[in-house]
């Protein structure tokens, strides 16, 4: 029998998805009204223990709204990571603001030491505002990404943000379910520590609504504003009066139906991903030149994406690994190209990007779906034992 294709990360829809979506269709509530949307918002809010949640079309739209709610304007600058998916940064440009790119640390998340250094050495804190010495512009916010379901160093980042009066928007699009086990933020979920947090339910994320997103916050005024802006900024339902420019960003009842079935399974997905992660980790320890990147010890991660570090002494390099795996019907990919090196960001300010470059050249993401079987994981490991240059 020929080997079946093993994808990187695909949806797992074996729960009540069909039942709930069928109900949405039978009741004819398929658009941005309908009971599932509010229901899904409350389920997410109670799962992550936030004061509320506002659904949206996708994570990118959620980040756009969050920046707007945090009053980032076209005059401002926002500190962002360079090692991430571009959707974490594009919304800064939608607003007309400018990003400043920060390096990652050894957890692949924003380097909080470099962040602190940058604020201290390259900026001036004056009348409650952090001013960039280079551009004289006001740095108003930080977008922190919790990479692959790990947790960025929120203790340090929140401390820096308080000191310099910066808003913190958590791009927790990859990290729903991740929370602190100890420290100041013990029990707090990724996305609920900063001013606002955003989750994504894209098809490749740990839970999916096809496409979809959710904004969370513990500030009820922010949530009200997020809802207002995401629903065309309508101030009167009957007469259709609008007090500002809004967006058509609300989730549909169909998407929410899927989401309700998925949230019921989220803890199971995390459990499976944990088991597969631990399996890979143990097996790759026996193969010289390979190392699974760790999740932090003081958190319960959601184990969304697995990052395998290909050391220089492994027999083939990153690109050869990807090609070889493809020939064996195993999908893999290099970690994202740095955002500061993408064409639209060529002129943007960067601060000491070093580690991100190294990790970019060594990391490969390997199959991690929540329906990946033990046999599939074993097959992936076997492929790494006899690598060939293709």
* Residues making contact with ligand PLP (CB under 6 A): 58-60, 84-85, 87-88, 145, 171, 173-174, 200, 202, 213
Q: Give the residue with the Cβ less far from ligand PLP, 119 or 145.
A: 145
Q: Give the residue with the Cβ less far from ligand PLP, 208 or 218.
A: 208
DSSP-based three-state secondary structure for 200: strand
To ligand PLP, the closest distance from the beta carbon of 174 in angstroms equals 5
To ligand PLP, the closest distance from the beta carbon of 299 in angstroms equals 17
Report strand pairing: 234-236 vs 213-217.
unpaired
To ligand PLP, the closest distance from the beta carbon of 187 in angstroms equals 24
- Please name the residues in contact with 64: beta carbons below 8 A apart, sequence gap of 6 or more: 91, 94, 95, 247, 249
DSSP-based three-state secondary structure for 107: coil
To ligand PLP, the closest distance from the beta carbon of 200 in angstroms equals 3
> Which position has the token pair 């013990």?
186
Closest-CB residue for ligand PLP?
Answer: 59
In Å, how far are 61, 180, 305, 308, 321 from 364, measured between CA atoms?
Answer: 28, 26, 10, 5, 8
Between CA 150 and CA 294 the distance in angstroms is: 9
Between CA 41 and CA 154 the distance in angstroms is: 24
Q: Give the residue with the Cβ less far from ligand PLP, 60 or 349.
A: 60
Q: Give the residue with the Cβ less far from ligand PLP, 213 or 387.
A: 213
Q: Give the residue with the Cβ less far from ligand PLP, 164 or 201.
A: 201
Residue 274 has a CB neighbour count (10 Å cut-off) of 15
Q: Give the residue with the Cβ less far from ligand PLP, 45 or 152.
A: 152
Residue 252 has a CB neighbour count (10 Å cut-off) of 23
Q: Give the residue with the Cβ less far from ligand PLP, 58 or 340.
A: 58
To ligand PLP, the closest distance from the beta carbon of 247 in angstroms equals 14
Between CA 24 and CA 31 the distance in angstroms is: 9
Q: List phi, psi (to 5°) of 310.
A: -95, 110
To ligand PLP, the closest distance from the beta carbon of 87 in angstroms equals 4
* Residues facing 138 on adjacent strands: 76, 131
To ligand PLP, the closest distance from the beta carbon of 214 in angstroms equals 10
CA dihedral 218, 11, 266, 37 (to 10 degrees): 50
Report strand pairing: 129-132 vs 167-171.
unpaired
């Amino acid at each position: 029998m020929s080997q079946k294709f093993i994808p990187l990360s695909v949806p797992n829809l074996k729960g009540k998805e069909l039942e709930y979506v069928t109900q949405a269709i039978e009741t004819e509530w398929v658009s941005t009204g309908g009971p599932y949307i509010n229901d899904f918002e409350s389920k997410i809010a109670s799962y992550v223990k936030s004061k509320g949640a506002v659904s949206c079309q996708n994570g990118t739209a959620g980040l756009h709204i969050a920046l707007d709610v945090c009053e980032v304007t076209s005059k401002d600058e926002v500190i962002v990571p360079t090692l991430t998916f571009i959707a974490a940064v594009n919304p800064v440009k939608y607003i007309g603001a400018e990003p400043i790119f920060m390096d990652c640390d050894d957890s692949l998340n924003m380097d909080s030491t470099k962040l602190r250094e940058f604020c201290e050495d390259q900026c001036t804190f004056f009348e409650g505002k952090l001013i960039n010495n280079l551009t004289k512009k006001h740095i108003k916010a930080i977008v922190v990404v919790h990479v692959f379901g790990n947790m960025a160093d929120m203790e340090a980042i929140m401390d820096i943000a308080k000191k310099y009066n910066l808003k913190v928007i958590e791009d927790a699009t990859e990290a729903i379910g991740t929370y602190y086990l100890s420290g100041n933020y013990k029990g707090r979920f990724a996305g609920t520590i900063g001013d606002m947090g955003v989750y994504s339910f894209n098809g490749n994320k740990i839970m999916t609504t096809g496409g979809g997103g959710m904004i969370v916050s513990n500030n009820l005024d922010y949530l009200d504003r997020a809802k207002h802006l995401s629903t065309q900024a309508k101030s009167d339902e009957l007469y259709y009066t609008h007090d500002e420019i809004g967006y058509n960003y609300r989730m549909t009842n169909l998407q929410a139906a899927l989401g309700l079935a998925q949230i019921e399974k989220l803890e199971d997905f995390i459990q499976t991903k944990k088991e597969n992660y631990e399996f890979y980790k143990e097996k790759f320890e026996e193969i010289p030149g390979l190392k699974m990147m760790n999740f932090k010890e003081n958190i319960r991660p959601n184990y969304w994406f697995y990052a395998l570090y290909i050391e220089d002494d492994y027999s083939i390099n990153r690109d050869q690994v990807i090609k070889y795996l493809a020939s064996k019907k195993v999908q893999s990919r290099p970690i994202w190209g740095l955002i500061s090196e993408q064409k639209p960001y060529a002129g943007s300010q960067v601060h000491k990007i070093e580690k991100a470059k190294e990790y970019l050249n060594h990391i490969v993401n390997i199959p991690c779906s929540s329906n990946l079987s033990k046999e599939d994981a074993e097959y992936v490991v076997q492929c790494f034992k006899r690598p060939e240059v293709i």
